[in-house]
Structure 1
Amino acid sequence: MKELGLVSSLLINRFSPNGAYLSLHDGGEVLLPKGYLKGTEKEGEEIDVFVYTDSEDRPVAVTNRPNALLDEFAVMEVREITKFGAFMDWGLPKDLFVPKAEMGKPMVKGEKYLVRVCKDYKTNRLIGVSKYEDFLIKDTRGFEKGQETEVLVFDETDLGFKVLIEGSFEGLLYKNEIFTAIQIGDKARAFIKKVREDGKIDLQLLPEGREKYEEGAEKILEVLKVRKFLPLHDKSSPEAIKELLGMSKKHFKQSIGQLYKARKILIKENGIELA
């Protein structure tokens, strides 16, 4: 069944008291339970559904979409731990099962982990795999310093946060270069800082050089439009600046310098305000 784990447009073949039976491409049928029907559907109509298996391993269709499709990654929270594995919340009524043999490390209930949706060809059902390294692309030569990319934060280490880059590469955001709150599962825009010889990638949340300070200046302007005045100045503590603006003191000083030269702000003894 090639629809398993994917979103497909399927034709409504017939209705029953339990719901609508949809035609599969191999000639079979899959049930879309009554609870997913609006009541206005008709036979022969196409409907977009996600196909997986229910608690009895029977194919079933639903109209809501999980956090990840087949062969995709997502950060998922552990709902339940058993001696056989873990059940993960992936946005559907039936949790995604991660067999113990497919865990990258022991899981804890309530914690979040990076999981890939895979097909178990022995049982013909979807399972989760947290051994993410097996699926990553090691060749990172296509990335360049300063390149903008999308990342998914999936783990925290002593150095910083591990991120998944474009769904296929691993990178690292260093804690001492982060000036805003970050949590496991967050998606963010990041910039390539360095591509190491071993293929590992270092990233940062702000672009380098002048563009970085232009972005910081824009952020300060947006805050001032709302608050009118900020009690921050050259002698403010780094902690106070980080709390109010989520940036370093150096970043703040460079940004207000640009704004002052552009006559966008006034610098007072006790803070800054719009010009």
Structure 2
Amino acid sequence: MKELGKQSSLLINRFTANGAYLALQEGGEVLLPKSYLTGIEKEGQELEVFVYTDSEDRPVAVTNRPKALLDEFAVMEAKEITKFGAFMDWGLPKDLFVPKAEMRKPMEKGSRYLVRVCKDFKTNRLIGVSKYEDFLIKDTQGFQEGQETEVLLFEETDLGFKVLIEGNFEGLLYKNEIFQPVKIGDTLRAFIKKKRDDGKLDIQLLPIGREKYEEGAEKILEILKDQKFLPLHDKSSPEAIKELLGMSKKHFKQSIGQLYKAKKIRIQDDGIELV
């Protein structure tokens, strides 16, 4: 069945007491249960649905979109652990099963893991796989240092957070370069800091080089336009600067230096104010 694990637009063939039967592309039908119908649908109408198998391994359509489609990654919480594997919350009534053999490491209930949705060709069911390294692309030649990208935070380490870059590459975000609240499962705008020899990428959340300070200056300027005064200065503690602005002290000093040279602000003993 081509639709398994995918988001598809299917036509309503007929209605029964159980719901609506939708026409599959290669013939046959799949049930959209009555609980997903609003009551105004008509035969021949096209509906956007996700197709997977229910608790009895029968194909079924739902109008919910899961956290990940077939061959996609998402961070999922382990809801139940058994001797055979783990059941993950992926946003659908039936949890996604990760067989024990497909676990990268033993899972714990309530913890969150990076999981890829795959098809088990022996059973024709969707399963989860947490051995993410098997699916990553090692060749990072297409990336340039300073390039903007999108990352998914999926695992915390002693150094920082492992991130999935554009769904295909692994990177690392260092703790000492994070100046905003973040957590596992966050999708963030980021920038390539360094391309490493092992094929992985170091990333940071602020633009590289001078552009970084320009962005910081713009942030401070916007706050001053609203508040007129900011109780931060050269002698302010790094903790106070991080709490109010979400940036490092070095970043702050570079940014207000730009604004001062541009005659946008006045630097007082107790803070800075808009000119």
Aligned match of 1:166: 166
Question: How many percent of aligned residue pairs carry the same amino acid?
Answer: 83
Q: Which runs of 4+ in 1 moved over 6 A?
A: none
Kindly report which structure 2 residues correspond to 1:111-260, keeping only aligned pairs within 5 A, or say none.
111-260=111-260
User: C-alpha root-mean-square deviation of aligned residues, in Å?
Assistant: 1.1
The Cα of 1:210 is off from its aligned counterpart by: 1.3
| Unaligned ranges ≥5, structure 1 | none
Looking at structure 2, the residues matched to 126 and 182 of structure 1 have their Cα atoms a distance apart, in angstroms, of 30
- Name structure 2 gaps, 5 residues minimum: none
Shift of 1:265: 2.1
Query: For this pair of structures, how many residues does the alignment match?
Result: 275
Q: How far has the Cα of 1:226 moved from its partner?
A: 3.8
Separation in structure 2 between the aligned mates of residue 53 and residue 233 of structure 1, nearest angstrom: 60
Whole-angstrom distance in 2 between the partners of 1:247 and 1:47: 46
Matching residue's letter, 1:53: T
Aligned residue type for 1:199: G
Deviations 1:45-92 (A, max 9, x none): 111100001111111101110010000000111111111111111111
Equivalent positions of 1:15-54 (< 5 A) are: 15-54=15-54
SS of residue matched to 1:198:
coil
Q: TM-score, normalised by structure 2?
A: 0.97
Give me the whole-angstrom Cα distance separating, in 2, the residues matched to 1:19 and 1:263.
Answer: 68
Equivalence for 2:59: 59
> In structure 2, do the counterparts of structure 1 residues 89 and 226 end up closer, same or farther at CA, with 3 Å as the change threshold?
farther
- C-alpha distance in 2 between matches for 1:233 and 1:174: 26
- The CA distance in 2 between the partners of 1:185 and 1:228, in whole Å, is 36
Q: Deviations over 1:144-172 (max 9, x none)?
A: 11111111110111111100011000001
Q: 2:79 matched to which residue of 1?
A: 79
- Tell me the residue number matched to 2:104: 104
Secondary structure, aligned partner of 2:223? helix
